Chains A and B, each alone.
Chain A
């Protein structure tokens, strides 16, 4: 594909996106509006992440894409192919070998290093959206640091269900200032948001970019008497035996028999190789 610029987007557009990224890194957790472009894949399928990846990739990068923790899910394959075609970058399935990782719904089990960038695909960037549908209002609430509504919601969960009934996209506070949606990762992944790598979040349809710089404090919202708990299925992986990784549940027969396996396919495969 020679008709398109490196990584598809033209340099003007990349510059515009890089500016939004830099602003996001300077104000951790703040949602920066950006002029999202129409990409050759549908909105809601990772166009925000793809635009951020396109803006940060260089020809020397090694790129990894995961969806639900797996490299081989169809949309991850599609996005990886897109950059193989338009940027000609090296691709890998190994977390440790990648310099840029685009993800949907998971943070890899392997800790990221200072040399790595994690790009999240974000459907709804606004953590307050389902409490207040109006963007005009929610932007005001962030500006005034008015997060009472969110705490009331969490409190109502506890009074009604005895626990906070949010299992994924669990809201966090970044560096003591902005409440942020970590994208729909399971809350199991929330503690990993405190990391050495750069975390960039792209929401294409909603035209927002936000970021968490390395070693930034990210705290999951909770109450003293109801502390945050990173939960997962109470099993070990049936393939690699890991008891610490996040698991997918599979239905394996007509009787509803279950098996559990790591959602992070690279992590699981590496453990099995080491054991062999």
Chain B
């Protein structure tokens, strides 16, 4: 006799053992170390930190190893770890103006104080497979230049001086924490940005791309894209002043968007903003475009019915951990619901067939 339900416990144990074996792969090949993943797959590590909302390269590398390279699974591992950590408080706002930039480009001005610095970018590489890498070749050290003495000013500040760019209202001192309070709509901009920065890179990219193709087009220029490290300071209540508690690598993107003016606002440039942990340009630019699209109400623009303008649609579907969990849960047994559907369909069919029979007679 077929008995479906016994043996679940043993099946789970065996599945876990098999998974561990598959993760390790062929044991005649050297095992990956956390340090190797952290140093050589650093963009993967960055993505896991950004969407895991936890800045810890070693833990992110561990998560990637444990997840067999499945990024969303790795992000999930990091998030589940993060929830168990106590929240001590909020840091001081990081001063991205003080960033030690590895890269800083502007698409709106040919040159500006601080200069254009390409940094370690894929941008102008030819995407040809480099077979030398297959032979584990060492690389020559890259040329170096002295670090600039002064801080690199934000490009936006130059537009600000002419009042050409819309001023930003200041937010609350300590913004709400998406991971500690339930998301309720309408969400303020700080919450929206939090949601976007930890949202799925692919989803945010798709949303941003849709605005470029005409679904709530807002014509963005990248005023500035900068990548580098900034110190994080926090006020310690016992001390009464702020101290530096570490530093993080960030990617920041500010877009300047054409704006004809609306019923409530004069013609001026408007902004979109993206800020992401680690080196993640695609995500930061996407985030800035989606941020700008979501600001239609505050700027008095028309609701064009575009997906990227719909705060509820974007924020409720951006989180890949929520999405993947709910999507994959349909693998779980649904015998009971399916059984009730079976009964219903049989009943409806009986009735429909009965009526057809009567009609024929």
Residues on A lying within 8 angstroms of B by beta carbon are 4, 8, 10, 33-40, 42-45, 47, 67-70, 72-78, 104-106, 123, 134-136, 161-163, 165, 167-169, 184-188, 205, 207, 231-233, 246-250, 252, 259, 263, 265
Contacts and interface: CB of A to CB of B under 8 A. Distances in A.
Contacts of B327: 44
Contact of A248 (B83, B179, B332, B339): B339
Contact of B325 (A4, A43, A165, A252): A43
A138 to B, nearest CB: 11
* Most A CB within 10 A of own CB, among B1, B183, B322, B351: B322
Contact of A263 (B84, B180, B335): B335
B333 interface: yes
B333 A77 contact: no
Given A33-B184, A35-B181, A207-B183, A168 B337 contact: yes
Given A38-B79, A167-B341, A205-B325, 5 more contacts: A38-B80, A162-B348, A162-B351, A169-B337, A265-B5
Most buried by A among B186, B316, B343: B343
Contacts of B326: 43-44, 123, 205
6 nearest A-B pairs in the assembled complex, by CB-CB distance? A43-B325, A44-B329, A42-B325, A167-B340, A44-B326, A186-B340
B342 interface: yes
Contact of B329 (A72, A123, A233, A252): A123
Interface stretch (B8-16, B92-100, B241-249): B8-16
Q: Which of A72, A134, A185 has the most B CB atoms < 10 Å from its CB?
A: A72
Contacts of B329: 42-45, 123
B151 to A, nearest CB: 37
Given A33-B182, A73-B5, A78-B12, A232 B332 contact: no
18 contacts: A35-B180, A42-B324, A42-B329, A43-B321, A43-B322, A43-B324, A44-B327, A72-B9, A73-B8, A75-B333, A77-B9, A136-B186, A187-B340, A205-B326, A233-B343, A246-B336, A248-B339, A263-B335
Contacts of B186: 136
Contacts, number: 149
A186 B75 CA distance: 35
A68 B335 contact: yes
Contacts of B83: 37-39
Contacts of A39: 80, 83
A68 B184 CA distance: 32
B312 interface: yes
Interface in B1-36: 1-2, 4-9, 11-12
A161 B348 contact: yes
A260 to B, nearest CB: 9
Main secondary structure of the interface of B (DSSP, over half): helix
Given A38-B321, A67-B332, A67-B333, A10 B86 contact: yes
A250 B348 contact: no
Contacts of A36: 182
A172 B351 CA distance: 26
A263 B336 contact: yes
Contacts of A10: 84, 86
A247 B339 contact: yes
A78 to B, nearest CB: 6
Of listed B181, B312, B328, B347, residue having the most chain A CB within 10 A: B347
Contact of A184 (B180, B316, B328, B337): B337
B152 to A, nearest CB: 36
Given A207-B182, A265-B5, A248 B348 contact: no
Contacts of A40: 80
Given A35-B181, A186-B336, A70 B5 contact: yes
A35 B182 contact: yes
Contacts of A67: 332-333
Nearest to B4: A250
A160 to B, nearest CB: 10
A259 to B, nearest CB: 8
B334 interface: yes
B5 A72 contact: yes
Nearest to B177: A35
B68 interface: no
Nearest to A105: B336
B337 A105 contact: yes
B335 A72 contact: no
Nearest to B185: A136
Contact of B322 (A162, A205, A265): A205
Nearest to A32: B182
Contacts of A231: 340, 343-344, 347
A106 B333 CA distance: 12
A57 B325 CA distance: 25
A73 B333 contact: yes
B55 interface: no
Interface in B34-91: 76, 79-80, 82-84, 86
B5 A105 contact: no
Nearest to A136: B185
Contacts of B339: 186, 233, 246-249, 263
A67 B12 CA distance: 15
Contacts of A207: 182-183
Nearest to A40: B80
A248 B341 CA distance: 12
B333 A68 contact: yes
Contacts of B1: 252, 259
B332 A167 contact: no
